[in-house]
């Protein structure tokens, strides 16, 4: 299925920025929809890439990061992740995030997937990396993060996805991809 060059019938009449901070911009669009009628559309533009990392040992263990997520008002288990500037090599952002959150460094990196997290209202792009050949160091967490980091068998992380204990879309997608490919 070809999804890149498909024609669309949306027309943008105007765009107004309604909110802006260092991470996102909220836009109000006046449009003509595919039926030819006037309409509106709201869009959240992300200023960073979403970067997720699945660190994987030879004996098939991985690391999960637990933290309180303010927008959801709940604790969340996730793969190590963070944002990376769109104008920076995403691998450098992935390496930085893995080191910050877990203290790990890896010498073998592979992009295993690209995702759009909520494409009906946002243009956020996420990349998931598989990091292997790991060396343990000391984490250097961001001052805004209170993290709980756990090393677990990969199969446990997979079961946490299946049970609904892990709900973050980048974590779910990455863990399922690694499992489906038979990597772990």
**pLDDT tens-digit readout, 60-108:** 999 999 999 999 999 999 999 999 999 999 999 999 999 999 999 999 9
Domain locations along the chain: 11-46, 48-180
Percent of the chain past pLDDT 70, that is, above it, reads 97
- pLDDT of residue 116 exceeding 70, the answer is yes
The pTM for the full model equals 0.91
| Three-state DSSP string of 97-109 | HHHHHHCEEEEEE
Burial 113-122 (b: 16+ CB within 10 A, else e): bebebeeeeb
**In the predicted model, what is the mean pLDDT of residues 8-23?**
94
User: Do the Cβ atoms of 100 and 142 come closer than 8 Å?
Assistant: yes
Q: Is pLDDT above 80 for 132?
A: yes
Instruction: Give start and end residues of each alpha helix (H) in the chain.
Output: 90-102, 154-163, 169-180
Q: Could you tell me which of 83, 67, 65, 74 has the C-alpha nearest to residue 152? A: 65
CATH superfamily of 48-180: Nucleoside Triphosphate Pyrophosphohydrolase (3.90.79.10)
| pLDDT score of 60 | 97
Could you tell me which residues come within 8 angstroms of residue 91 by beta carbon, excluding any fewer than 6 positions away? Answer: 109, 129
Residue 5 pLDDT grade (very low, low, confident, very high; cuts 50, 70, 90): low
């Amino acid at each position: 299925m070809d999804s890149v060059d498909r024609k669309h019938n949306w027309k943008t009449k105007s765009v107004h920025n309604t909110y802006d901070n260092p991470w996102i911009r909220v836009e109000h669009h006046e449009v003509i929809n595919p039926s030819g009628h006037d309409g509106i559309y709201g869009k959240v533009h992300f200023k960073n890439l979403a970067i997720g990392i699945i660190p994987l040992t030879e004996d098939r263990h991985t690391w999960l990061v637990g933290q309180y997520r303010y927008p959801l008002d709940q604790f969340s288990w996730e793969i190590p992740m963070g944002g990376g500037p769109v104008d920076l090599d995403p691998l450098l952002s992935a390496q930085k995030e893995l080191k910050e959150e877990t203290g790990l460094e890896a010498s073998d990196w592979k992009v295993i997937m690209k995702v759009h997290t909520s494409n009906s209202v946002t243009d956020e792009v996420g990349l998931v990396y598989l990091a292997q050949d790991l060396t343990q160091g000391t984490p250097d967490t961001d001052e805004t993060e209170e993290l709980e980091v756990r090393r677990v068998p990969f199969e446990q992380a997979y079961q946490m996805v299946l049970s609904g204990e892990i709900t973050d879309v980048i974590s779910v997608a990455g863990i399922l991809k690694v499992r489906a490919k038979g990597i772990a």
